[in-house]
Amino acid sequence: MTPNAFQKDPNTTFEHGDQLEFRPDGRTESIGSTEEGLARQAVYGSFVRNEVLGHNEVIRRAVEVRGVNIEAMRKHVLGLEPETNTTIAELPVDSAETAKASEETFDNFQYHVPSKVEDAA
Amino acid sequence: MNKLIRHTLTLLTGAEDPAVFLKVPKKMGPLKVLTERQLIQMESEIGKTLFGEIPKGHRREFFNLDPKTWIWHEEYFDANKQPHSITTKYEVQDKGILKVQDGARYSYIEGTELENFGLAVQIYYERAAREVYQRDPNTGYKLS
């Protein structure tokens, strides 16, 4: 196997000399069960939320998403047309916390499902 | 009722008096139309229970005003029977959760206070979704 060309990024936590080994012959052919997949996603989502975004930002976004959703539920009960929500668009691109639910979730009703980092990744 | 219509309904429903199928049961009554204020009050009934027991003589409200604003309001009478009230507004801003209190005091909350606020909002949201709007808080689907 040829030496890995991976270069340490000064911003990563890798120690000097660490290399990522690419072993296509040794990888698994199975993606595992649904439960295993969900577990992996949970671990990944937790990493993204806490390590990349920062804990305070995670809480801030969670609060914002819940406010958006409550407003949407309120308007739905009141029979009002949901307004185009600019809050979501203002967030960073990888803000999967505020990913919009599929159109099937509600008819003409904007609802944002929290904690779906992995879905948007 | 027109004879032809009555006959048609009899054929469709199988009832001798099809008119009973057209009546709205009195129990159902007219659909109650709620205002946004009433919905917020219903939410606040949940919100005010999230911070422990309310001291005797206190009145507490905690509710979501709009997508970016949460309000905590508390009223009480002191030992001299003088009324007091504290209103705290939590604004969701890009930089964090800004806490604004009477007297132009404001600061971004952090640490335990932020943790507690986030937790309160989470419980408020889950309970309001289920108890006020009858929706699954995780998916938004109507609860069956």
Contact at CB, B139 and A113, closer than 8 angstroms: yes
One-letter amino acid at B45 equals: E
Contact at CB, A67 and B69, closer than 8 angstroms: yes
Question: CA B142 to CA B144: how far, in whole Å?
Answer: 6
Question: CA B135 to CA B80: how far, in whole Å?
Answer: 45
- Give the mean pLDDT of chain A: 62
Q: Does A119 touch chain B (CB under 8 A)?
A: no
Q: How far is B79 from chain A (nearest CA, A)?
A: 37
* B35-47 burial code (b ≥16 CB/10 A, e <16): eeeebbebbbbbb
Q: Does A86 touch chain B (CB under 8 A)?
A: no
The model's pTM is 0.58
Tell me which DSSP letter residue B100 carries.
E
* Predicted local confidence at residue A80, as pLDDT: 81
Q: B13: burial class by Cβ within 10 Å (0-12, 13-18, 19+)?
A: middle
Q: Does A68 touch chain B (CB under 8 A)?
A: yes
ipTM score of complex = 0.74
Q: B50: burial class by Cβ within 10 Å (0-12, 13-18, 19+)?
A: middle
Question: CA B9 to CA B21: how far, in whole Å?
Answer: 9
Q: Which residue would you say has higher pLDDT here, A118 or A82?
A: A82
Q: How confident is the model at residue A23 (pLDDT cuts 50, 70, 90)?
A: low
List of chain B residues whose C-beta atoms are within 8 Å of the C-beta of residue A78: 34-36, 39
Nearest to A63 among B97, B128, B137 (CB): B97
